[in-house]
C-alpha cells in the first residue's frame, strides 16, 4: 500500500513538472505569436486570443519568430516558428481569434435601402474563421445597399450588402437607340439590375422588343444598332 502511495505521489510530481514545462513554453511563445497576428490584422496584441493544441519542444534560452504566411487566416491552423540562430523551423497547431471593431446597425434597415455611415456603430466582436465575412471599414459601404432586411443590433456581413445598381430591375429607364449619327430617345423596362459601364437588357416600352445596351448614366441605356 505504501509503495502504491509513493508511486501515485511520484506521478503527480512528474505531471506537475511536465505541466510547468509546457506552461513555460506556451508563455514564451504566446507573446511572439500575438505580436505577429496583431501586425497581420492591425489590432492590439492583447486583442489576439490563442488556444494551443500542439506545441513542439523548444529551448527557452533561444529566440524564436513566426514564419510569415501568405494568407491572412484566423481559426484552427498550423504555423511555423523559426529559431533565430539555427534557422530550424518547428510547427505549432493552434486556434487563433481576435477582437475587431465590427459595424453594427443602429436601427432596422429595409431591403434595397442605401447604406450610410450614420446607420452603424462599431462594436468589438471576437472573430474566428468567419473573419472575412464581416465588414469592418465604413468605406466599404460606399455605393452599396442592403440585400436583405438588416435588424437592429445586427453585425454587418458581406452577404447583407450589394452594390447599389444604376438601373433597377422592373423600372422604366431611358433608352438611346443609336444608328450612325441618328439618335432616337425612347423608354424601356429593365429586365435586371444594371451597373454603369456594363451591359443591360431592356424591353422597349412601345414595341416590346428586347434589346441590349450599355448603362451610360443613372437610368439611361444606350443601344447601338447595326
The pLDDT of 106-126, averaged and rounded, is 94
Per this entry, what is the length of the chain?
226
Give the mean pLDDT of the chain: 86
pLDDT for position 45: 93
Question: Which of 121, 54, 119, 116 minimizes the C-alpha distance to 90?
Answer: 54
Confidence (pTM): 0.71
Helix, strand or coil, per DSSP, at residue 189: strand
- Cell numbers at 198, concatenated: 456594363
How far apart are the C-alpha atoms of 108 and 48, rounded to whole Å?
31
**pLDDT tens profile 68-87:** 988 889 999 999 999 988 88
Lowest-pLDDT choice from 25-29, 90-94, 99-103, 106-110? 25-29
**pLDDT tens profile 14-58:** 334 333 345 666 777 899 999 999 999 999 999 999 999 998 888
**pLDDT tens profile 130-154:** 999 999 998 889 889 999 999 999 9
pLDDT for position 16: 40
Amino acid at each position: 500500500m505504501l509503495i502504491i502511495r509513493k508511486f501515485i505521489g511520484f506521478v503527480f510530481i512528474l505531471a506537475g513538472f511536465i505541466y510547468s514545462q509546457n506552461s513555460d513554453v506556451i508563455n514564451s511563445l504566446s507573446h511572439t505569436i500575438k505580436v505577429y497576428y496583431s501586425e497581420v490584422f492591425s489590432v492590439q496584441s492583447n486583442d489576439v486570443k490563442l488556444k494551443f493544441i500542439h506545441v513542439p519542444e523548444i529551448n527557452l534560452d533561444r529566440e524564436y519568430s513566426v514564419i510569415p504566411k501568405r494568407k491572412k487566416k484566423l481559426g484552427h491552423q498550423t504555423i511555423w516558428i523559426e529559431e533565430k540562430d539555427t534557422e530550424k523551423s518547428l510547427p505549432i497547431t493552434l486556434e487563433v481569434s481576435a477582437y475587431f471593431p465590427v459595424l453594427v446597425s443602429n436601427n432596422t434597415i429595409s431591403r434595397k435601402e442605401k447604406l450610410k455611415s450614420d446607420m452603424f456603430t462599431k462594436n468589438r466582436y471576437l472573430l474566428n474563421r468567419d473573419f472575412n465575412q464581416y465588414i469592418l471599414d465604413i468605406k466599404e459601404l460606399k455605393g452599396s445597399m442592403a440585400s436583405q432586411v438588416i435588424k437592429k443590433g445586427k453585425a454587418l456581413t458581406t452577404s447583407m450588402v450589394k452594390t447599389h445598381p444604376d438601373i433597377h430591375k422592373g423600372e422604366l429607364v431611358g433608352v438611346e437607340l443609336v444608328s450612325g449619327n441618328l439618335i432616337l430617345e425612347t423608354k424601356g423596362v429593365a429586365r435586371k439590375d444594371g451597373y454603369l459601364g456594363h451591359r443591360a437588357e431592356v424591353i422597349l416600352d412601345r414595341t416590346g422588343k428586347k434589346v441590349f445596351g450599355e448603362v451610360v448614366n443613372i437610368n439611361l441605356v444606350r443601344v447601338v444598332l447595326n
